[in-house]
Amino acid sequence: MSVKVTVVPAEFTLVQYEAASIAEVAADVAETIGFPDGTEVRVEVDETSPLGKTEVVAIDPVTVAIESGAFEDAKRPRHLSEKSVRSVLGRLLFRAHDRLDPSFAEAPPDEDIALREHVAWDTYAVGRCERLGWRVQKERRRYHFRIRHGFTDVADEAFDRLWAADGLTWADLQAVCAETAAADTRAVVKRGRGR
């Protein structure tokens, strides 16, 4: 038995994607991350949107929602990029896996997570993806982190710690956010989701 993946829609009509290819990558990513055999993963792709919004919408079963642009090959519009699928699903499935850990029980729903916390969690997830050898854009992630946490040495050091970390808890992520907030001299960053 292995991870069971369902891709919705089963057949794409607006983009040149194959549900079977997405399911194969998703199963490999989930198994590599450490989801137990029998875990159900649902990948919902909105092929009507060329944008790239992504989110974890449930953890029982693990369900991720993705606008089709997030999976698109940048050089071939409307065609699937396996590297993008692996990168996007790696980040989302690490977050879902974290949510299943009791050490993340205090994490609020995604829509209630502050922008600093959201970006810190993504940094922690993508750093683990890089260590598995998956394509990531570290400097793009660093810049995104700086936008939310400040352009300070404290923020850069926090980014590096999160990127290299393993075994963090929700409290650890909150502590990093408190640390960068204390050093950030800009106006307070608004609450809510941000990608």
Q: Going residue by residue through the chain (195 aa), what tens digit of pLDDT does each one get?
A: 699 999 999 999 999 999 999 999 999 999 999 999 999 999 999 999 999 999 999 999 999 999 999 999 989 999 999 999 999 999 999 999 999 999 999 999 988 999 999 999 999 999 999 999 998 999 999 999 999 999 999 999 999 999 999 999 999 999 999 999 999 988 555 444 444
Say what the pLDDT of residue 1 is: 60
* Final residue before a domain boundary, out of 97, 128, 157: 97
Domain that holds residue 146: 103-183
Report the C-alpha gap between 124 and 145 in whole angstroms: 11
* Same domain? 119 vs 170: yes
Residue 168 lies in a domain: yes
* Same domain? 75 vs 60: yes
* Same domain? 68 vs 121: no
DSSP run (H or E) holding 73: strand 72-73
* Same domain? 79 vs 12: yes
The number of folded domains in the chain is 2
* Same domain? 43 vs 88: yes
Strand partners, 7: 43
Report the C-alpha gap between 116 and 139 in whole angstroms: 17
Residue 169 lies in a domain: yes
Give the gyration radius of the chain's Cα atoms. 17
Say what the pLDDT of residue 187 is: 59
Q: Are 95 and 125 in contact, with CB atoms under 8 Å apart?
A: yes
Residue 41 lies in a domain: yes
* Final residue before a domain boundary, out of 49, 76, 97: 97
* Final residue before a domain boundary, out of 80, 97, 114: 97
* pTM assigned to the model: 0.92
* Same domain? 92 vs 124: no
* Same domain? 72 vs 123: no
Residue 176 lies in a domain: yes
For residue 157, give Cα distances in angstroms to 115, 136, 166.
18, 19, 16
Residue 193 lies in a domain: no
Report the C-alpha gap between 57 and 88 in whole angstroms: 14
